[in-house]
Amino acid sequence: MTDESRPAFSAPEMNGAHPDAIARALPENIAVKCPNCRELLLARDLEKNLKVCQKCGHHFRLTAPERIAMLLDPDSFSEFANGLLSSDPLRFVARSGSYADKLVSEREKTGLEDAVVTGVGSIEGLKLVLAVMDFRFIGGSMGSVVGEKLTRAIEHATADRLPLVIASASGGARQQEGTLSLMQMAKTSAALSRLADAGVVFVSLLTDPTTAGVSASFAFLGDVILAEPGALVGFAGPRVIEQMMHQRLPKDVNTAEFVLKHGMIDGISHRRELRSTLARLLRLHGSGAPRAAQ
Q: Between 54 and 98, whose beta carbon lies closer to another protein? A: 98
Work out the angle at residue 107's Cα, subtended by the Cα atoms of residues 43 and 8, and round it to the nearest 5 degrees: 35
Q: Between 23 and 103, whose beta carbon lies closer to another protein? A: 103
Minimum CB distance to another protein, residue 260 (Å):
12
Minimum CB distance to another protein, residue 236 (Å):
3
Q: Positive or negative CA dihedral for 271, 1, 75, 199?
A: positive
How far is the C-alpha of 139 from the C-alpha of 147, rounded, in Å?
Answer: 15
Q: Between 5 and 179, whose beta carbon lies closer to another protein? A: 179
Farthest-apart Cα atoms in the chain, separation: 73
How far is the C-alpha of 213 from the C-alpha of 47, rounded, in Å?
Answer: 31
Minimum CB distance to another protein, residue 25 (Å):
29
Q: Between 25 and 182, whose beta carbon lies closer to another protein? A: 182
User: From the CA atom positions of the chain, what is the Rg in Å?
Assistant: 20
Length of the chain equals: 294
Output DSSP code: residue 290: P
How far is the C-alpha of 145 from the C-alpha of 87, rounded, in Å?
Answer: 9
The b/e string for 164-185 (b: 16+ C-beta within 10 A; e otherwise) is bbbbbbbbbbbbbbeebbbebb
Minimum CB distance to another protein, residue 140 (Å):
14
AA identity, residue 224: V
- DSSP labels, 259-283: HHHTTS-SEE--HHHHHHHHHHHHH
How far is the C-alpha of 165 from the C-alpha of 132, rounded, in Å?
Answer: 8
Q: Between 110 and 217, whose beta carbon lies closer to another protein? A: 217
Output DSSP code: residue 208: E
Minimum CB distance to another protein, residue 57 (Å):
24
Q: Between 165 and 173, whose beta carbon lies closer to another protein? A: 173
Residue 46 to residues 1, 35, 276: CA-CA distances in angstroms? 15, 13, 21
Q: Which of 267, 141, 272, 266 is nearest to 210 (CA)?
A: 141
Minimum CB distance to another protein, residue 175 (Å):
5
Minimum CB distance to another protein, residue 194 (Å):
7
Q: Between 47 and 92, whose beta carbon lies closer to another protein? A: 92
Minimum CB distance to another protein, residue 36 (Å):
22
Q: Between 163 and 172, whose beta carbon lies closer to another protein? A: 172
